[in-house]
Structures are given as C-alpha cells and as structure tokens.
Amino acid sequence: MTADSTSPVRKRVLLAKPRGYCAGVDRAVQTVEEALKLYGAPVYVRKQIVHNKHVVTTLEARGAIFVEENEEVPEGSTVVFSAHGVAPEVHEQARERNLKAIDATCPLVTKVHHEAKRFAAEDYDILLIGHEGHEEVIGTAGEAPAHIQLVDGPEDVENVVVRDPAKVVWLSQTTLSVDETMETVARLKTRLPLLQSPPSDDICYATSNRQHVIKEIAPECDVVIVVGSTNSSNSVRLVEVALGAGARAGHLVDYASEIKDEWLEGATTVGVSSGASVPDDLVMEVLAHLAERGFGEVTEFTTAEERLTFSLPQELRRDMKAAAAARG
C-alpha cells in the first residue's frame, strides 16, 4: 500500500542535551555580572570573557569594557581575566599596573596549567595538543614555555622533536574534538611509545558530552544547526563532529536570523545544539524560527545530566562578603 502523496511530510527537530553553558562559562559570565554590581561600571575584561558574540555585547551594554591587553586598562582599575586562562606574565603585568585582577579562568583550564607546571618542574618535554593562537593554548604554554611545544592536530605530529623519548607527556586544550585528539595521541605514540598521558582527561566534560550527544543524533539529521560563534573552538568542533557522524549538512550560527531557508529545503529532520558558551535563550529563538517553517515537533535527546558548578573566584567572593558585612 503506498502512502498518500498529499499527506504532509513529518518535520521534526532533534534537540541535543547537554548543550549550551558549561560550569566554567556560567562562572565566568557571573563573575563579570557580580563585579559590575559590586564595583560599578566600568569593569574591564581582558579578551572576550567567553567566545560568544551575544554574551559579550550583553555585558558591554551593562558596563563591561573588553580590551586585548592589560596596558589598555587604566592603572588601579578592576580587570577580569577570561575563562580561557592567562600566562603568568599577564598576572605580573596586572600587578605592575596596580590593577585589581579577578581571575575567571575555568578551573578545568587551571588544572591543565598545574599539570604543565608539574611536568616542567620534573623536566619533561610537554606536547600540548591544541590550536595555534587560541587563548587557552597561549595561557597554558606560558606556564612553561621552555618545555612546551604545540601539536596542532594529527598532521603536525611529524614536526615533533623531543630531548628524551622516555620523558615526554601530552596535554591538551580543553575544547578539542575528542576523536581528533585521540588520533593525534595515537600518531604520537607510534613515534614515541613511552609517551605519558595526563593524570586525568584534559578535554573538559562539557566538550565531551556535547560531542557525544551530537554524534548520537547526527545520523538521523538532514541538517544540524549549532548555535555558537566562529571563534568558539568547541562550537566549531560540534559542526565537524556532526558531519563526521553522518549529518548531511551542518551550520554554525550566532542567531536564528542567520539560518537560511535553503538549508531546510527538502529536510525532514533538523538537529539543534549549542556550544558551551551559548545562553539557552538563543537556542529557543532557533526552535521558534524552525517552528515557523514547519519544524514544530521537538524531541529532546539526552545522553548525560550535568550538575557540576564552580564557585566564583576567591578575590570576588572575599569582596562580596566584605560588602555584605559592611551593609550589616
């Protein structure tokens, strides 16, 4: 029996969960918000607090001023360091300029910094897997520049030179593709069989979780739309992972208005996710946009529950406590 050719095509959305804000991003954004409340505007932020256009413009509207370097911050002012982490010299520059520095580095990035310092102190060669020029890589490499060399993907493995093949360890940027990183490690191990691994996984739980759920839904999707900014490593990786896992097409957008109708032509199943620095109201706008185009049926596909939270930076907590005590 053939289906009635006039019957409407069933259009649906598979909504990935986990998606959006991770604990480190939530903490970093909250740090700027609380600093503005406590100290008043302006509060300076070195680099983008997180890699998301909407978050940055929203905080700018509240009085945050984003700068590239400490020297742009007036002496004696408050500066927040971004979630991606900074090299020790950045802290030193802040002290020299008498800046009140609040470090919003994600604790999972700080963990990689500690690993770098520890292995450097033991005179290891450290192979840092990551993307050249990314703020997180610059910050981690700055902890032990004499010991760290960057390995930018599997193709870069042949360029690695170490002093002692028995004393080498790999670390990684926290927002990489899990699969590509493991491919890089496998290639490194064929060249360096005694290569040691970090004490615990450097790729953060949120990056892994978001990639895992997108892999699960991608084979069913005609198109996957990831909400996130082009400078967000984990958001860009989500599109790559979706395509690698079988999605017919994948696109990265900051806002629902960027979705082109031709992307949806002939599609019956659209996957939706968002990077770890994306507020969920942007995802809801994408769902509303898709619903207007017939994709009203939404099924949330969940592969993990995330309950991790991080406390605010201690410098900020201390000042908030003092201010509360002063108010009586």
Beta-carbon contacts of residue 184 (< 8 Å; ≥ 6 apart): 129, 151, 153, 154, 156, 157
From the candidates 136, 220, 292, 315, give the one annotated as an active-site residue.
136
Task: Please indicate if the annotation marks 174 as binding a ligand.
Answer: yes
DSSP class of residue 166 equals T
d(CA 130, CA 137): 6
Task: Please indicate if the annotation marks 114 as binding a ligand.
Answer: no
Task: Please indicate if the annotation marks 251 as binding a ligand.
Answer: no
The string over 99-127, giving b where at least 16 C-beta atoms fall within 10 Å of a residue's C-beta and e elsewhere, is bbbbbbbbebbebbbebbbebbeeebbbb
Task: Please indicate if the annotation marks 221 as binding a ligand.
Answer: no
CA dist 129 to 38, 123, 148, 224, Å? Answer: 38, 18, 10, 27
Residue that has been written with the tokens 């999707």 in this structure: 221
Structure tokens at 264: 């949806």
Q: Is residue 140 within 8 Å of residue 170, measured between CB atoms?
A: no
d(CA 84, CA 82): 5
Task: Please indicate if the annotation marks 232 as binding a ligand.
Answer: yes
Task: Please indicate if the annotation marks 257 as binding a ligand.
Answer: no
d(CA 196, CA 126): 10
For the question of residue 60 being annotated catalytic, the response is no
CA dist 244 to 214, 241, 263, 267, 285, Å? Answer: 10, 5, 18, 19, 26
DSSP assignment of 213-248 equals HHHHHGGG-SEEEEE--TT-HHHHHHHHHHHHTT-S
Structure tokens at 13: 């959305």
Tell me which residue of 218, 159, 147 sits closest to 184, measured CA to CA: 159
d(CA 242, CA 219): 8
DSSP class of residue 312 equals P
Task: Please indicate if the annotation marks 106 as binding a ligand.
Answer: yes
The residues carrying an active-site annotation are 136
Q: Which residues are annotated as a binding site for [4Fe-4S] cluster?
A: 22, 106, 204
Q: Which residues are annotated as a binding site?
A: 22, 51, 84, 106, 134, 174, 204, 232-234, 277
Q: Which residues are annotated as a binding site for dimethylallyl diphosphate?
A: 51, 84, 134, 232-234, 277
